[in-house]
């Protein structure tokens, strides 16, 4: 009887090597968090040197997000063709070299172009590293493994802020980009040495020397070696475009639910992260208090991603995410109401950061489970890319509402509704996903 290696991985205890691979993926996301947020830390210094307008600074801040969307949509799907490992190495090269190049530019237009290129690399890394971590985790700890990726992003952003305070004062803003680029290239060399290929990819695509690569990984995971590659049925073998595979049969409804859930959550997330300090200051807080609240929201994100991952080891991730979305909506509505009391607002801000970042981590955890190995990177990349559209639109939409005279309390209430809508999408996705799993299990039992 042919071995089902993927089932063995799902059911067995996690080995040290599996946690090692997940740790490498976590480090990749730490680097990404730094590379993406570095523009926010250097914006005041860049603006002062080149006397930039608000619109020009906005272009610099947005260019990285546009790049991430492009990387998720156009680069990440290539991992299903060339492998997760190679795609990550290519994207690390793109991000590292463009980051270092940012240190030598002499115009904001060139800096915006390079920030877009960096974003493209980061977008590809984020999608592929999440998929790789998911594929190396067992069923019980898969949600935690992917949630930890979001933790890494928050850690990288926080480290970037601390490093910026030290380096900008003594060496100038260019040193931050140089340090980020060199660290990314160092991570490229480490990944080149230790990062393995996905077993799911090797089984699905069977590239050259696939059996040798599989057995090398199996040995490190302390599994018995294979004499031949197992055969896995491809559920998506049909004519049509690669995108059409995401909408085949029951999968189409799940894809749409996932895309719009990403859009809603990213739409709400980037409103909270982008506008909260400014809105709180306009409502009477001092600049220091508003910025401190924003920092607490970011710090809360480090805990939120880990908490939802641990919760998902006890209950199904779809329901864990629904709980986080509901609590986030309540916290958003509560936040403005307590803004006049600084100490309470800081506590609520920390809680809001924990919950809202947990929502993003939960979506990252769900997305790899929806798709088969042959289209997994494409499915995850497109979902994240669609979510990035919400991220790009959200700050602008909020600004338009405020310019029209909408009060901050009303604006937060509107954005709270966004998270409630996301609950319905996630529960609908869960119903469709488990129905499909049940149908597949029934077919396996009845097939002779």
- The 10 Å Cβ neighbour count of residue 106 is 8
Contact between 416 and 292 under an 8 Å Cβ cutoff? The reply is no
Does residue 233 lie within any of the structural domains? Answer: no
| Domain co-membership, 178 together with 282 | no
The token pair that represents 404 in the structure block: 């029209």
The conformation of residue 160, written as its DSSP 8-state character, comes to H
| Domain co-membership, 328 together with 389 | yes
| Domain co-membership, 89 together with 155 | yes
Does residue 275 lie within any of the structural domains? Answer: yes
Contacts of 413 (CB under 8 A, 6+ apart): 332, 333
| Domain co-membership, 32 together with 107 | yes
> How many CA atoms within 13 Å lie on the side-chain side of 208?
0
Q: How far is CA 175 from CA 101, 112, 296, in A?
A: 11, 17, 26
Each residue's pLDDT tens digit in the chain (448 positions)?
567 788 888 888 889 999 999 999 999 999 888 887 788 778 878 888 898 876 787 778 778 888 988 998 899 889 988 999 999 999 999 999 999 999 999 999 999 999 999 999 999 998 899 889 988 998 888 888 888 887 887 788 778 777 877 887 788 889 999 999 999 999 999 999 999 999 888 888 888 888 899 899 989 988 888 888 877 655 544 445 668 888 888 899 999 999 999 999 999 988 877 666 666 666 666 656 665 666 677 677 778 888 888 888 888 999 999 999 999 999 888 877 776 676 787 787 778 888 988 899 899 989 988 988 888 888 999 999 899 888 888 877 877 887 788 877 788 888 899 999 999 999 999 999 999 888 766 555 555 5
| Domain co-membership, 210 together with 311 | no
Contact between 152 and 139 under an 8 Å Cβ cutoff? The reply is no
Contacts of 285 (CB under 8 A, 6+ apart): 293, 339, 342, 345
The token pair that represents 52 in the structure block: 């930039």
Does residue 410 lie within any of the structural domains? Answer: yes
The H-assigned helical ranges of 78-173 are: 79-82, 84-102, 108-136, 142-171
Does residue 228 lie within any of the structural domains? Answer: no
Does residue 232 lie within any of the structural domains? Answer: no
| Domain co-membership, 180 together with 249 | no
Say how many domains are in the chain.
2
- Cβ burial 224-251 (10 Å sphere, 16+ → b, else e): eeeeeeeebeebbeeeeeeeebbeeeeb
Determine the structural domain holding residue 105 and report its residue range: 1-223
| CATH number of the domain enclosing 109 | 1.20.1250.20
| Domain co-membership, 178 together with 265 | no
| Domain co-membership, 209 together with 269 | no
Distance CA 396, CA 417 (A): 18
The token pair that represents 236 in the structure block: 């998506």
Q: How high is the pLDDT of residue 87?
A: 96
Distance CA 34, CA 45 (A): 17
Distance CA 353, CA 24 (A): 25
The token pair that represents 248 in the structure block: 């085949």
Instruction: Among 223, 254, 284, give the residue marking a domain's end.
Output: 223
| Domain co-membership, 391 together with 319 | yes
Contacts of 27 (CB under 8 A, 6+ apart): 152, 187, 190
| Domain co-membership, 207 together with 258 | no
Q: What is the pTM of this model?
A: 0.81
Q: How high is the pLDDT of residue 278?
A: 62
């Amino acid at each position: 009887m042919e071995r089902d290696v993927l089932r063995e991985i799902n059911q067995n205890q996690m080995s040290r090597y599996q946690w090692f691979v997940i740790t490498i993926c976590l480090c990749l996301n730490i680097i990404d968090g730094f590379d993406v947020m570095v523009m926010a830390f250097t914006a005041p210094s860049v603006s002062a040197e080149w006397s930039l307008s608000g619109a020009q600074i906005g272009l610099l801040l947005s260019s990285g997000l546009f790049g991430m969307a492009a990387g998720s949509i156009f680069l990440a799907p290539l991992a299903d063709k060339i492998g997760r490992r190679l795609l990550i190495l290519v994207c690390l090269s793109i991000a590292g070299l463009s980051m270092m190049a940012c240190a030598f530019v002499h115009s904001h237009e060139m800096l915006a172009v390079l920030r877009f290129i960096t974003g493209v690399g980061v977008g590809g890394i984020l999608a592929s590293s999440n998929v790789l971590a998911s594929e190396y985790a067992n069923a019980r700890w898969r949600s935690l493994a992917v949630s930890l990726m979001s933790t890494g992003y928050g850690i990288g952003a926080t480290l970037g802020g601390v490093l910026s305070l030290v380096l900008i004062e003594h060496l100038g803003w260019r040193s931050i980009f140089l340090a980020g680029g060199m660290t990314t290239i160092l991570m490229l060399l480490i990944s080149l040495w230790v990062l393995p290929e996905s077993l799911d990819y090797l089984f699905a695509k069977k590239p050259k020397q696939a059996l040798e690569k599989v057995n090398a990984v199996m040995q490190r995971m302390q599994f018995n070696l294979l004499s031949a590659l197992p055969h896995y049925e491809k559920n998506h073998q049909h004519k049509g475009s690669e995108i059409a595979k995401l909408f085949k049969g029951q999968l189409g409804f799940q894809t749409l639910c996932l895309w719009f859930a990403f859009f809603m959550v990213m739409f709400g997330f980037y409103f909270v992260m982008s506008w909260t300090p400014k809105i709180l200051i306009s409502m009477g807080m001092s600049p220091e208090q508003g910025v401190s609240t924003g920092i607490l929201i970011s710090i809360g994100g480090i805990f939120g991603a880990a908490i939802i991952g641990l919760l998902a080891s006890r209950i199904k991730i779809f329901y864990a995410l629904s709980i986080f979305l509901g609590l986030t909506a309540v916290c958003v509505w509560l936040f403005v109401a307590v803004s006049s009391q600084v100490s309470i607002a800081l506590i609520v801000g920390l809680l809001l950061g924990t919950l809202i970042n947990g929502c993003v981590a939960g979506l990252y955890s769900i997305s790899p489970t929806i798709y088969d190995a042959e289209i997994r990177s494409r499915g995850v990349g497109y979902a994240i890319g669609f979510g990035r559209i919400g991220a790009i639109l959200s700050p602008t939409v909020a600004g338009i509402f405020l310019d029209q005279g909408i009060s901050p309390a009303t604006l937060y209430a509107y954005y709270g509704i966004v998270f409630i809508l996301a609950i319905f999408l996630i529960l609908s996705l869960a119903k469709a996903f488990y129905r499909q799993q049940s149908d597949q299990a029934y077919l396996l039992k009845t097939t002779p």
